[in-house]
């Protein structure tokens, strides 16, 4: 039967936490170095500039689709064999994929590279589960916030470095990304302790546990997860519009280049540090996870409306900056609180399964968001993705307002007893 007690710390809990912070920061740096140059790399292989938004959307959708298909399997794999092997394999996969992307040569090579990266994208569910392994339930939302704030440092460094490197070569930031991923793999091999105790590991992995739609169906049948997962998906979709389209919007509306885009993305990292490292610690004890999530949704809605105005009738750089930073601040706060609430809703041996389920859901949103954003941007109006995103956020606020949430930040740690349909209860 699944244990409901707060987990014990691993033997070297301090080193585990330090390494988790370092690896997460490096992963974020690696992911964000390439952001400022992505549309400019793709532009080299498309026949007309009008196709750019659509091809950027296609590439990110391919990546999201592949991650959607494998995330439950990789999350369950970490429940069976431990978090460390999955993190190492994912890092090597990212290094190979980004090297291939940097070599390029044709649009199909870029598509193949994004597919490979998606198929090996097991680091996020494994890191999610790793944090849960080494953190008691009542501290998880706070630690997710700390990790998010420290990741903000990586987000601050990565795009700034990427924008500066782009002045030398558009391919250079891509190869730096590959190098960072290789560094993560090497550090994980030699310095990362395993966090998942053998006695907490599952004995078998069934096909039912790793099929994305079956995992979703199982998770959505559980009352303590249903509302949170629906809200998770609704929040992820508009943010996916922004992430996959904001470089194109900056290029089209205010004529920014990769360096300016990189500096703005770095500013997002600074905002993450302030929100998740400082403000989240103040808000969680006072308004709990639900209040933080809804406040974050409101901020994201305001940011989306600002970006819609930039795309339509008021193409001013200052409004673009304010809209982007407000959206990112709201997303950072809401995501940290959401991760903590989800983690506290399941048992110790389900953290990898949950990480795989949420990563798969996020990947599903990442699959459809770029296509929706690209299609709306190219065929309806440049403001359409952001207007639709604001409407979706209103629905998300209603869903979260009605969701079942255990506020461990304001009450003693409690893990729900509803274990019906759990995929690991034997």
Instruction: For residue range 259-292, list pLDDT tens digits in order.
Output: 787 788 778 777 877 787 678 778 888 887 888 8
pLDDT tens per residue, range 230-244: 888 888 888 888 877
Residue 42 lies in a domain: yes
Q: Provide the CATH number for the domain around residue 56.
A: 1.20.1250.20
378, with CB counted inside 10 A (0-12, 13-18, 19+), is middle
Is 0.75 surpassed by the pTM of this model?
no
- In the predicted model, what is the mean pLDDT of residues 346-366? 72
Measured distance CA(110)–CA(103) in Å, rounded: 9
Residue 413 is assigned to a structural domain of this protein: no
* pLDDT band, residue 147 (cuts 50/70/90): confident
Q: Does a structural domain hold residue 410?
A: no
- Segment among 74-88, 313-327, 336-350, 401-415 with least mean pLDDT: 401-415
Q: Are 102 and 174 in contact (CB under 8 A)?
A: yes
Quick check: is 416 in a domain? Answer: no
Q: Is position 162 within any domain? A: yes
Confidence grade of residue 122 (pLDDT, cut at 50, 70, 90): low
Q: With bands split at pLDDT 50, 70 and 90, how would you rate the model's confidence at 349?
A: low
Q: Is residue 5 part of a domain?
A: no
pLDDT at 12: 64
Please determine, for residue 64, whether its predicted confidence score (pLDDT) is greater than 80: no
The end-to-end CA distance of the chain, in Å, is: 7
> According to the model, what pLDDT value does residue 92 have?
92
Looking at the domain assignment, is residue 41 inside a domain?
yes
Residue 33's contacts (CB-CB under 8 Å, 6 or more residues apart) are 158, 159, 161, 162, 165, 173, 176, 177, 180
Rounded Cα gap, residues 222 and 404, in angstroms? 10
How many domains, in total, are found in the chain?
1
Of the ranges 179-193, 297-311, 361-375, which one carries the lowest mean pLDDT score? 361-375
Q: d(Cα 202, Cα 32) in Å, to the nearest integer?
A: 34
Contacts of residue 74, Cβ cutoff 8 Å, sequence gap at least 6? 86, 90, 121, 122, 125, 126, 356
Segment 137-161 shows an average pLDDT of: 72
Secondary structure class of 12 (helix, strand, coil): coil
Q: Domain containing 275: what range? A: 13-196+207-402
Percent of the chain with pLDDT strictly greater than 70: 83
Indicate the helix (H) or strand (E) that contains 173: helix 172-191
Mean pLDDT within 32-51? 78
Report the pLDDT value the prediction gives residue 142, as an integer from 0 to 100. 72
In a domain, 236, yes or no: yes
- Mean pLDDT check: name the lowest of 8-17, 35-44, 331-340: 8-17
């Amino acid at each position: 039967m699944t244990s409901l007690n707060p987990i014990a710390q691993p033997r070297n809990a301090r080193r585990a936490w330090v390494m988790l912070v370092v690896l997460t920061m490096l992963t974020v740096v690696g992911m964000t170095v390439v952001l400022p140059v992505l549309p400019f790399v793709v532009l080299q292989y498309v026949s007309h500039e009008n196709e750019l938004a659509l091809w950027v959307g296609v590439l990110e959708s391919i990546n999201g689709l592949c991650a959607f298909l494998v995330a439950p399997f990789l999350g369950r794999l970490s429940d069976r064999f431990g978090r460390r092997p999955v993190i190492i394999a994912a890092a090597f996969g990212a290094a190979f994929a980004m090297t291939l992307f940097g070599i390029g040569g044709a649009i199909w090579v870029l598509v193949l590279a994004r597919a490979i990266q998606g198929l090996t994208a097991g680091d996020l569910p494994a890191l999610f589960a790793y944090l849960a392994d080494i953190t008691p339930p009542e501290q998880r939302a706070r630690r997710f916030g700390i990790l998010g704030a420290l990741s903000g440092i990586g987000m601050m460094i990565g795009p700034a470095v990427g924008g500066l490197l782009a002045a030398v070569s558009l391919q250079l930031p891509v190869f730096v990304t590959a190098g960072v991923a290789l560094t993560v793999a090497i550090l994980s091999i030699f310095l990362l302790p395993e966090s998942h105790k053998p006695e907490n590991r599952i004995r078998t992995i069934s096909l039912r546990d790793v099929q994305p739609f079956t995992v979703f169906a199982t998770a959505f049948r559980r009352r303590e997860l249903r509302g949170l997962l629906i809200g998770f998906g609704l929040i992820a979709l508009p943010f996916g519009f922004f992430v996959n389209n904001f470089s194109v919007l900056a290029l089209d509306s205010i004529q920014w280049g990769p360096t300016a885009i990189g500096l703005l993305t770095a500013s997002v990292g600074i905002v993450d540090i302030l929100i998740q490292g400082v403000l989240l610690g103040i808000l969680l004890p006072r308004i709990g996870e639900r209040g933080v999530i809804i406040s974050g949704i409101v901020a994201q809605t305001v940011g989306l409306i600002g970006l819609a105005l930039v795309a339509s009738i008021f193409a001013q750089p200052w409004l673009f900056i304010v809209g982007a930073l407000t959206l990112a601040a709201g997303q950072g706060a809401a995501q940290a609180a959401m991760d903590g609430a989800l983690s506290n809703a399941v048992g110790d041996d389900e953290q990898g399964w949950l990480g795989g389920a949420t990563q798969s859901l996020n990947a599903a949103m990442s699959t459809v968001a770029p296509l929706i954003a690209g299609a709306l941007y190219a065929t309806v109006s440049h403001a359409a993705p952001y207007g639709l995103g604001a409407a979706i956020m209103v629905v998300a606020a209603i869903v979260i307002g009605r969701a079942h949430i255990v506020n461990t930040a304001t009450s003693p740690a409690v893990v729900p007893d509803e274990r019906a349909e759990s995929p690991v209860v034997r």
